[in-house]
Structure 1
Amino acid sequence: MEPLKKLKPVDTLSLVDKVEIRLLEFFKENNLGPGDPIPKELDFATNLGVSRTVVREALLRLRTLGLIESKKHRGMILKQPDIINNFERIMDPTLLGTKTLKNLFELRMILEMGMADFLFEHKTQKELEELEEIVEAEEATSTGKARFSLDKEVAFHGKLYQISKNDTLQRFQGLLLPVFEYVYLKETKNRNLDDYHYTKGTFVTHRMLLDNLKVGTPETFRNAMRRHLEPHFDHIFKNGKK
């Protein structure tokens, strides 16, 4: 007896799902881009063999994503979607699972480590002076004990993202900030980061990072940033092994 062939998975896509996918394929196949007009709702319905209601719902989804818009005297046209805006709508830490929060927190760490070359390429004297003001204000209010303060972290690292001159990165940083705050507060709830024992014995302060940005190299800055964030990396990796 020949072995039985496996059953193919049942297609669970709704008709609206399929039309949405087909519309996106149509845009790509015809090399349509932002500003280009697209066929009318009735034309889509006729060619796809579905009702206008189905097409209307599929188009509404694309409109919600910012892929299409209606223009007076022109009808519907394609537009460049604001990808960060779509993330912003759902980026609420209280609505995200633990695994997703952990992944987003790790993504923030990856970005911090990866932008060193852009900082050295784009930094200006004015921006270094602005960072200096941030660090001086931090030092003026420091008790000499606390190494980590969420407000200070946000001010200093937020400025670094601005120096990168990457608009998407800056907006993404702002989007990840609530997640960073949420995980940071959970992470420090039952432990004091000031008591953390650093592998090289010393904590890299914002002052040290600024001095490195002034006279160092992308590589030395990256190493300094890694030491600055060491407690977070250590916490992530230890929890990942559990």
Structure 2
Amino acid sequence: MKKINTDNKLQKIDTTSLVDRVEKSIIEFLTERNLKVGDSIPKELELSSALGVSRTVIREALSRLRMIGLLESKKKKGSVITSPDLISILGKSMDPRLLDDETLKEIFEMRLSLEIGMADFIVERVTEDDIKELRQIVANDPPRSFDTMFLIEEEIKFHGKLYEITRNETLKKFQKLLLPVFNYVHLSGLLKKPMINKRYASHKELVDVIETRDAEAFRNAMRNHLENHFSRLFG
């Protein structure tokens, strides 16, 4: 019996649903026509006719776009384009109890990267009032850290202020989203290596460096401050 080679004979079947494809087509329509926030999109009947699908399919695709905050319904205007709240959308699935271990670990790493990476924004935008507030937050911290581990409450207050200093609203919202995951990973035993009590930059020292307005020095100090977390990741 002759064996037929199917390598170049059969094409892979598109397994995406019709609604998926219509949703993608509508988004492409919006971008290709340079429609902006506040602009109305065509009516269901027009989209149905243009795409050659039923109004039921169009309605389902539009419903999905409303769910992700890309569209909203307005009286006398129909469906209009909106700017989606990306952090809010992400937050709906950011419960650490629902995420697998690898994702939790990657989110943990993401926060470490952010804390170091936002150094330039902090030193560029920090004010004297910000520095005064940071001094108040760290007033009861030890001047240098040897065998002292920071309390979670102190970490949240201090690092939350750093995110605030960036004047980046998305970053601030993202930090609040990351906190439960970060704390969960920190306490869950997911990072197998134990905490190491050793010398690292304290909150007070970080404030001292911020006051010099030296971004590179602050980046290095923050990396040292987070050394314990990196040690638990890399050993």
- Provide the TM-score with structure 1 as the length reference: 0.88
Counterpart position of 1:178? 180
Counterpart position of 1:96? 99
Distance in 1 (CA, whole Å) between partners of 2:213 and 2:85 is 36
Distance in 2 (CA, whole Å) between partners of 1:218 and 1:103 is 25
Distance in 2 (CA, whole Å) between partners of 1:52 and 1:23 is 13
Question: What is the DSSP-based 3-state SS (H/G/I as helix, E as strand, rest coil) of the residue aligned with 1:136?
Answer: coil
Q: Deviations over 1:165-201 (max 9, x none)?
A: 11111111111111111111124998763x434xxxx
Question: What is the DSSP-based 3-state SS (H/G/I as helix, E as strand, rest coil) of the residue aligned with 1:35?
Answer: coil
- The answer as to 2:65 corresponding to 1:62 is yes
- The answer as to 2:161 corresponding to 1:159 is yes
- The answer as to 2:226 corresponding to 1:229 is yes
Distance in 1 (CA, whole Å) between partners of 2:189 and 2:162 is 23
Q: What does 1:106-125 correspond to in 2, within 5 Å?
A: 106-125=109-128
Question: What is the DSSP-based 3-state SS (H/G/I as helix, E as strand, rest coil) of the residue aligned with 1:55?
Answer: helix
Distance in 2 (CA, whole Å) between partners of 1:192 and 1:19 is 50
Distance in 1 (CA, whole Å) between partners of 2:190 and 2:37 is 46
- The answer as to 2:218 corresponding to 1:217 is no
Percent identity, please. Answer: 47
Distance in 1 (CA, whole Å) between partners of 2:191 and 2:74 is 52
Greater Cα shift, 56-65 or 216-225:
216-225
Counterpart position of 2:197? 196
- The answer as to 2:205 corresponding to 1:208 is yes
Greater Cα shift, 211-220 or 227-236:
211-220
Q: Deviations over 1:86-139 (max 9, x none)?
A: 111111001111111111111101101111111110001111111111101445
Alpha-carbon deviation of 1:234?
1.7
Question: What is the DSSP-based 3-state SS (H/G/I as helix, E as strand, rest coil) of the residue aligned with 1:177?
Answer: helix
Structure 2 letter corresponding to 1:86 = I
Distance in 2 (CA, whole Å) between partners of 1:215 and 1:64 is 46
Quick one: structure 1 residues 189 and 21, their matched pair in 2 at CA, closer, same or farther if it must change by over 3 Å?
closer
Counterpart position of 1:147? 149
Contact 2:137 2:157 in 1 (8 A): yes
Question: What is the DSSP-based 3-state SS (H/G/I as helix, E as strand, rest coil) of the residue aligned with 2:138?
Answer: helix
Quick one: structure 1 residues 188 and 41, their matched pair in 2 at CA, closer, same or farther if it must change by over 3 Å?
closer
Distance in 1 (CA, whole Å) between partners of 2:211 and 2:227 is 22
5+ residue gaps in structure 2? Answer: none
Contact 2:138 2:204 in 1 (8 A): yes
Counterpart position of 1:87? 90
Counterpart position of 1:128? 131
Q: Deviations over 1:2-24 (max 9, x none)?
A: 96534432211011111101101
Alpha-carbon deviation of 1:148?
2.5
Larger fraction in helix = 1
Quick one: structure 1 residues 190 and 24, their matched pair in 2 at CA, closer, same or farther if it must change by over 3 Å?
closer
Contact 2:141 2:204 in 1 (8 A): no
